[in-house]
Amino acid sequence: MVPFMRLQTILEARWILGVFALLAVVCGLFWTWTFWFFLLLFLCTVAFFRDPKRTVPADPNLIVAAADGTVMDITESDENQVLKMKTRRVGIFLSIFDVHTNRAPIDGRVIYREHRKGLYFDARRPECSEKNESMTWAFENPCVTVVVRQITGAIARRIVAWAKIGDELKKGDRFGMIRFGSRTELYLPLNAELLVKVGDHVFGGSTIVARLPRS
């Protein structure tokens, strides 16, 4: 298997990889440069669908990033879909160069998963949070419920869900992915101590985003 890739992730790319491989072979019979062109596209696709292992902090009071990317904004926001209360929202923008696998921010059970149709604004625009196609998740344990929202972008048009309601996930476990540039949001309790700031680059499953108060 290709290093840093898993079967489940590779399957999401099988048609793209197959087309580029076929085009490289067929077109390469007539024009050598096309072989290298499609081979490059094939390798770029492999790089995009990479899915490396991550070191996950064990402390149950620590909340980790649900995605790789850059923290674009941190705001207080009403989360009206699941929690129906004011939360602290951390918005992470994923460029095409980031790993696009999404990971559970806490140990917990999936208690909510809901897809919403929408538009495809650039994932860096503020209005994309409310208007773009999205998938909302909620992870619950005895200490906290954390909501994660996968949001499509101008390029990303497919949200993939691997987990389902009722699944028990460990912090850092993969629950889905978004193909190509996109946005992932975490909705955290206001009493959580925030440990990232706007502009930070985070890694899903390993970067500590917030710390819950000790019980």
Could you give the residue numbers annotated as active site? 182
Q: How far is CA 148 from CA 24, 38, 97, 103, in A?
A: 39, 36, 21, 10
Q: Are 185 and 153 in contact (CB under 8 A)?
A: no
Q: Are 207 and 65 in contact (CB under 8 A)?
A: yes
Handedness of CA 36, 53, 208, 12 (dihedral sign): positive
Distance (Å, whole) CA 193 – CA 190: 8
Paired tokens of 60: 């149950």
Q: How far is CA 96 from CA 19, 49, 147, 175, in A?
A: 20, 10, 24, 19
DSSP output for 79-131: ETTTT-EEEEEEEEEE-TTS--EEE-SSSEEEEEEEEE--B---TTSTTHHHH
Closest CA relative to residue 152, chosen from 119, 175, 201, 115: 119
